Structure 1
Amino acid sequence: MNALSQSWQQAWLTLGQLLYSGGWVLVLLLVITALLSSLLLERYWFRFVSYPQLLINYQRRLMQKQSAKHLQAAYWLSLRCDMELKLDQHLSLIKSLVGLCPLIGLLGTVTGMIHVFDTMALAGSSDPKLMSAGIARATLPTMAGMSIALIAVINFTYLKRWSSRSKLFLQQRPQHLAKGNS
């Protein structure tokens, strides 16, 4: 148990050092990453846990509806629209956050470079070691933003394609409605 506690302390220390070396922008990226991760996890939960049950209920409700033909079509359209809204829920926010990550990373690089040049101007020195350490520190947020965006865009693309395929499936008219309109 003590080894596990030491491992957690070391991990937190390393994370703290990383956040300190990247500046305030890395903290902002960490918050965005937490939000992005929670939205992606929610979509995966919906995809593998909630949606199959919703689809069964959707199909069951369609088969139970015994109204006039025009009411059946309206009821089917209403249910389908509800399902499509649930399929697209949070995807636009995820897409926006994915695009925001590299931009925030670039903001961190710009502010880091300004800090490096200010430090060099105040010190009156153009020491290459000081400059290279500052540049490395300044580019850390860009690397983090690009890495987060890359991982998130892969997940977003998977979820978006699944959502599109599911909507195509839902757009097929149920068999009992197609027979009634023939």
Structure 2
Amino acid sequence: MEISLLQAWWLSLSQFMNQGGQILWWLAAVVMLCWLLVVERVIYLLFQYPNQRKAWLAKWHERDDQTSWYAHAMREGWLNEARTALSQNLNLIKVLVAICPMLGLLGTVTGMISVFDVMATQGSSQPRLMASGISLATLPTMAGMVAALAGMFVHARLAKACHMRELKLEKLLRSQ
């Protein structure tokens, strides 16, 4: 019976995850949640925000009075709404990115504890056994660092895109 490409991929992923220990599964869950939030932000920026921006601009341009204190207060309220909507989930993404290397280090520490446990029970005269255990124990750190680097890059890009949209909206609402 021939193994499909998807089954082979899943088997390879499962082996990697099992080598890294249980912490690697927790890291995978954090990374999936982080990327789910990133996708939500991208969808918001591409589809929902332009409609909201049009609505705010239409309300502003419908106003006859754009210079009074009340008009400025309305504009500031819309800008605050935009700022809140644009920055939603960005802090959570940042926290999840910061958690990734910590989980990786936790996985390495727990892996090293199990290596030392094996060395205590079987003796330390087998350097090959010790080296393979240490190699497996460092997998979670590598995975955590890779996830954090990718997450930092994406978070920075999203934060900049949101900030630029906020500045553009503020400029459009100031023009008469």
**Structure 2 stretches of 5 or more lacking a match?**
none
- Separation in 1, partners of 2:175, 2:146: 46
Are the aligned partners of 2:124 and 2:130 in contact in 1 as well (CA < 8 Å)? no
> What CA deviation, in whole Å up to 9, does each residue of 1:83-130 have, x standing for no partner?
010111001111111111001101111110111011011112331110
> What value does the CA root-mean-square deviation take over the aligned residues?
1.8
Letter in 1 for 2:18: Y
2:69 corresponds in structure 1 to 70
8 Å CA contact 2:23, 2:107 repeated in 1? yes
3-state DSSP of counterpart to 1:13: helix
Using the TM superposition, give the Cα deviation of residue 48 of structure 1 relative to its aligned residue in structure 2, in angstroms: 1.7
Q: State the TM-score, normalized to the length of structure 1.
A: 0.89
3-state DSSP class of the match of 1:167?
A: helix
CA distance in 2, matches of 1:65, 1:132: 72
Alpha-carbon contact 2:23-2:140 (below 8 Å) kept: yes
Q: Where in structure 1 are there 5+ consecutive unaligned residues?
A: 177-182
Partner of 2:174: 174
User: 1:135 and 1:125 mapped to 2: Cα distance?
Assistant: 13
| Aligned partners of 1:19 and 1:26 also within 8 Å | yes
* Aligned AA (2:40): E
**For the residues of structure 1 that align with 2:150 and 2:124, how far apart are their CA atoms?**
40
Question: Counterpart of 1:126?
Answer: 125
Q: TM-score, normalised by structure 2?
A: 0.92
Question: How far did 1:70 drift?
Answer: 2.5
State how many pairs are aligned.
174
Cα contact 1:109–1:141 (8 A) shared by 2: yes
4+ residue stretches of structure 1 with deviation over 6 A? none
Quote how far apart the aligned CAs of 1:159 are. Answer: 0.7
